[in-house]
Amino acid sequence: MRVAGVLAAVVFLADVAVADEATIFDPMDRIHPVWAENGMVSAQERLAAEVGRDILARGGNAVDAGVAVALALAVTLPRAGNIGGGGFMIVHEAETGRTVAIDYREMAPSGADRDMFLDGQGNADSGLSLFSGAASGVPGTVAGMRLALDEFGSMDWAEVIAPAIRLAAEGIVVTPDLADSLEASRNALERYPATARIFLKPEGAGYRPGERLVQADLARTLQAISDEGPDGFYRGEVAERIVAAVQAAGGLISMEDMAGYRAVLREPVRGHYRGHEVVSMPPPSSGGVHLIQILNALEGYPIGALGHNSGMTIHLMAEAMKQAYADRSEYLGDPDFVDVPVSALTSKEYAAAMRDRISPDLARPSVDVRPADLAPYESDETTHFSIMDRDGNAVSNTYTINLNYGSGLVADGTGVLMNNEMDDFSAKPGVPNAFGLVGGDANAVQAGKRPLSSMTPTMVLKDGQVWLVTGSPGGARIITTVLQVILNAVDHGMNVAEASTAPRIHHQWLPDELRIEDGISLDTIRILQSRGHVVAPKEVMGSAQTIMRDLDSGTFYGASDPRRPDAATVGY
C-alpha cells in the first residue's frame, strides 16, 4: 500500500530544518486526507464532529467522544441523527485488545404481529410501515449510548450530553444542505403539527440558510436524560408523551415496551482478508456477515493486479454481491429469534463454492441465483461516524431513523423524531420493502424482535491494532460501500481520501441491475454490457466516514466522503 509519509523530505518546523524526516502527505496522491497527531473524528456533520474532537482534546477517549457525537447529531442532523431511532456500534479497547459489538437496534412492540402491515387483500401496505404510528419500533439510541459509556467510557454521562443540550437550546445555523433537506421532506414534516412547529417557521415557511433553528423541546428532553439517565427517556413524562403520540397515530408502543428496552453486547463477526483482520457487526445486521462473505470470495482473485474499477474487477465484485444479497433474503434476521448460519456464510469453504459459480466471462442472471443450501433496505438517511484516540481506542457507529426524518412523527413537547424502522421487517416475505430489498421468514415481524439491517460499522486490524475504521449510510448500498473502501485501501493502495472518493458500483441481486456512479468509463461499461450486465447509472452511493492510523508513527489520516455536504473530519 502507498502510505502517506514514506518519502524522505526536508520538513521545516518552527523555522528549523529537520533532514530525512518523512513527509506527512504523499506528493504522488491526487487527493489528500486530513492529518492529525492525537485523535480524529469523521462524521457526516461538522458541528457534531467538532463536539467529538473537543471531547478528545479534553482527555476523553473514543467512546466518550462517540456518545457525545451521537447525541449531538440528534440536534445537528435531524434527518438521520437521533434519539428516536437505533443502530450499531463497534468498539475496540486498546488496553485489553477487546473488540465488541453494541446492538441498540429498535425492537418491535409487544403488540406487533406478522401481518400487521398487510391490507384487506393481504398486500403489503407501505403507508402503514413507513408513515403511521405503527411504523415506529421502540427506540434504542439512548440505551445504547449509556451502555457504551458505562462499559468503555471515562467521562460522566452529563458531561458528554452537555454539548447536545447547548446546541438544541441555543440553536444551530441552518446550512444549505439542511435547508434543502427540510424543504424536500416538507410533506412528511407537515403531516404532524408538532413536527411542523419545530422544522417549519410560522405560516409554514421553510428555513433558509443562515437562519437559526432552535429545538427547545429537544433540549428539555436531553436535559431530562442528562439528569435521570435512560430513565429520563424510557420512563416518566418523555416516555408518556412518546407513547401517547405513537398510539394516537395508530402505533403500538406501550409504556411497558419503553421501560423494557435493552441494548445488548454481541460478539462481532470476524474475517481475514489478505493479512488483515476485518471486524464488523453481527446479526441483526446483515452488514458484517455479507461484507466478510464478499471479501472471502474476492480474495481468490488478484483484484489489485486486475486494476481499480476495471471491467473484470467490477464483474467479479458484482457476481459476488449477487450471491451475498440472495443469501441475505433467506437467512438473515434477529439471532434472538432465528438461527442465522453466520459461520457457514463467512467460511472460506463457502467462498470457494461461490467462486465456482462465478464465470469470468458472463454475468449470471439473478433469476438463476438462489440462496445457498446451507446447514443450520434501509433508507439512505442513515448516518455514520468513526473515531480514534491517541491510545488506539476506536469507535465505528452507524445509526438511523430510516427515512429522512423517520416517520415524520414528533411526540408533542419532546422534540424527538420517531423512527419508521418497522419497514425493515419483511411485511410480506418475498415482497421487496420500500428500498427494493427482499426478505424472508427469518425477518418477519414478531413482538420483541429487532428488524434486519444493512448497517456495517467496521474496523480493519493489523497485528491486533486498529488500522482502519469505516462505515457509511446508504441503505442496501452500505455493505458494498464499505466493501469498496476496504478494497481501495488494501488492494489498490489508495490513501483514505482516495479510497473514499473513488466511483462506486452496487448489485443487490434484485432488481437484476448493476448500479454505477458517474466516473465509470464508457469503455468499462461496454465491457460489462458485453458480459451480460444490465448497467444502470444511479445517484451517488453512500457517505463513508473513514480514519486510517499510521501504526508506525501513531498519527491519523481521515476523510469524509465528498458525496454529502457538511460532512467533516477533524483532529487535534
Q: Before 511, cis peptide (omega within 30)?
A: yes
Burial grade of 22 (CB within 10 A; 0-12, 13-18, 19 or more): middle
Show the cell assigned to 145: 449510548
Cβ neighbours of residue 203 under 8 Å, at least 6 residues apart? none
Show the cell assigned to 372: 445457498
Q: Before 284, cis peptide (omega within 30)?
A: yes
Name the active-site residue from 76, 195, 382, 470.
Answer: 382
Q: Is 141 left (phi over 0), alpha (psi -120 to 50) or beta?
A: alpha
E strands present in 226-305: 264-266, 269-273, 276-280
Burial grade of 252 (CB within 10 A; 0-12, 13-18, 19 or more): buried
In the chain, the amino acid numbered 391 is D
CA distances from 484 to 122, 179, 383, 472, 488 (A): 39, 31, 18, 11, 6
Radius of gyration of the chain (CA): 23
Longest dimension (CA), the chain: 79
Please provide the DSSP assignment of 142-203 as one string. Answer: HHHHHHHHHHH--S-HHHHHHHHHHHHHH-EEPPHHHHHHHHHTHHHHHSSHHHHHHHS-GG
Q: Which of 107, 160, 178 is nearest to 137 (CA)?
A: 107
Asked if residue 436 lies in contact with residue 508, where contact means CB atoms within 8 angstroms, the answer is yes
Sign, CA dihedral 141-143-144-149, equals positive
In the chain, the amino acid numbered 136 is S
β-bridge mates for residue 453, sequence order: 285
E strands present in 149-244: 172-173, 212-213
Show the cell assigned to 364: 449470471
Report the C-alpha gap between 360 and 371 in whole angstroms: 21
Q: Which of 267, 319, 313, 266 is nearest to 293 (CA)?
A: 319
For residue 558, report the phi and psi dihedrals to the nearest 5 degrees.
-140, 165
Asked if residue 136 lies in contact with residue 251, where contact means CB atoms within 8 angstroms, the answer is yes
Please provide the DSSP assignment of 124-138 as one string. Answer: B-HHHHHHSGGGPPB
Report the C-alpha gap between 179 and 317 in whole angstroms: 37
Task: Give catalytic status of residue 414 as yes or no.
Answer: no
Q: Which residues are catalytic?
A: 382
